[in-house]
Amino acid sequence: MSLRQFLKELGCIAGGTALLAATPWLKSCTPEKLSEAAAGGGVARIGLIGTGSRGQYHIHNLLKVPFARIVALCDDYPVNLEAAAALVPDAKRYTDYRRLLEDPEVDGVIIATPLGLHAQMTLDSLSAGKHTFCEKAMALTMDECKAVYDAYRQSDRALYYCMQRMYDPKYVKAFQMIGSGLIGDVVGMRCHWFRNADWRRPVPSPELERRINWRLYRESSAGLMTELASHQLEVCTIVTGKMPTQVAGFGDIVYWKDGREVYDSVSLTYRFEDGRNITYESLISNKFNGMEEQILGKLGTMDLSKGVYYFEEDDTTYGVRRLLDQLKTGVFAAVPTAGPSWRPELRESHVPHAVMEKSTGWVSGESMIGASNDGSLDIVEAFCQSCLTGEQAENVVEEAYCATILCLMGNLAMDEKRVVTLPDAYKIPYMKF
């Protein structure tokens, strides 16, 4: 189910207005707004900076947007530029992004370059009067994040960051369900993202190592935190409506001792002023636990990544529950000390309930490029619509800012092995504590 279809059906059922109030960035995505944008017959003319694997992923999505046209491509690595040009042969080609920004036929720019280039390219794009869409995360340093945020506040151009969970229907519905009290008061959050791969790409020549494997080096990457944790920490700040103020944790290169500079294993705890915590783990040498984003409530638990929730007390029964009941009555009934006080606390004893009856897709988290039905197409489509209307999506930049700051605080805590407190210099009015 597409986001537009989801919102269309939502308009026919109770709670639609409440959901849009809880997720204000979607107000510009309603079918009515789309009709208004399409009524003028305009086409968003898009220029793409960065034509590697993620850039080409965006090209495939853009080709599905009826009111968008890719008019320009830019990359200083010929192999990628030629591959992208094969997908869009009529687009102009540039090797210097500043020349693309000077092109009057470009309405909006999509930046899909290494993280270390995000801030300057975004600043230059806004300065050139272009609507701008940038891959996550916002920037490599907290100073750069603040500079981009301040420039955005002074601009009349739309700015998006590819935090696609904000546009994934199952996440959107889960945000509303949590806000409505389905799982009770949120008492904690637990997220992890595990893979089993070295995160490397083939390098045709040694001098290209740092350009192609930019994720492994600190001059261009902030590692697992900005590449993976940024999505999951954003989920936590959205459901709580608050920002953690402290973080502590450890990071190490545990397995992939191949010259990389970023951690391959991280474990952190973020603390809110009210005492709640986010526990976060990621490593890339074991994938057994996959990816999960668990919001823990007094009445239940929501796993947003899988689109399911569980109640603490649930009358629903299924196979494992019946087996546990049999164990309780058959085995433990004979043990006086356990007897009536025994209760199963295994995870498998909780019955999963679907967030949505119509599935929007479940993502394992293994892909390094992107997955279908994860909100990426929807957020790109929303950006193209903003290129036509000039409308800025509420909260998207602010949530991207908060998530990136949290990731960079986490790296600082691991690097310096201390508790890091959010500096006042990087607080913005949007943040609540």
410 contacts: CB under 8 Å, gap ≥ 6: 225, 229, 247, 249, 266, 268, 270, 280, 420
Q: How far apart are CA 174 and CA 189, in angstroms?
A: 14
Residue from 85, 100, 126, 122 nearest 45 by CA: 100
Each residue of 251-288: pLDDT tens digit? 999 999 999 999 999 999 999 999 999 999 999 999 99
Domain parsing of the chain, residue ranges: 3-166+375-394, 171-369+397-426
Residue 189 reports pLDDT greater than 50? yes
**Confidence band, pLDDT 50/70/90 cuts, at residue 360:** low
Each residue of 303-349: pLDDT tens digit? 999 999 999 998 775 555 555 555 555 544 444 444 444 444 555 56
Q: How far apart are CA 370 and CA 227, in angstroms?
A: 12
CATH of domain 171-369+397-426: 3.30.360.10
**Confidence band, pLDDT 50/70/90 cuts, at residue 418:** very high
As a whole number of angstroms, the longest Cα–Cα distance in the chain is 82
Q: What is the mean pLDDT of the chain?
A: 89
Each residue of 134-146: pLDDT tens digit? 999 999 999 999 9
Q: Would you state the pLDDT for residue 299?
A: 97
Contact 146, 379 (CB under 8 A): no
CATH topology of domain 3-166+375-394: Rossmann fold (3.40.50)
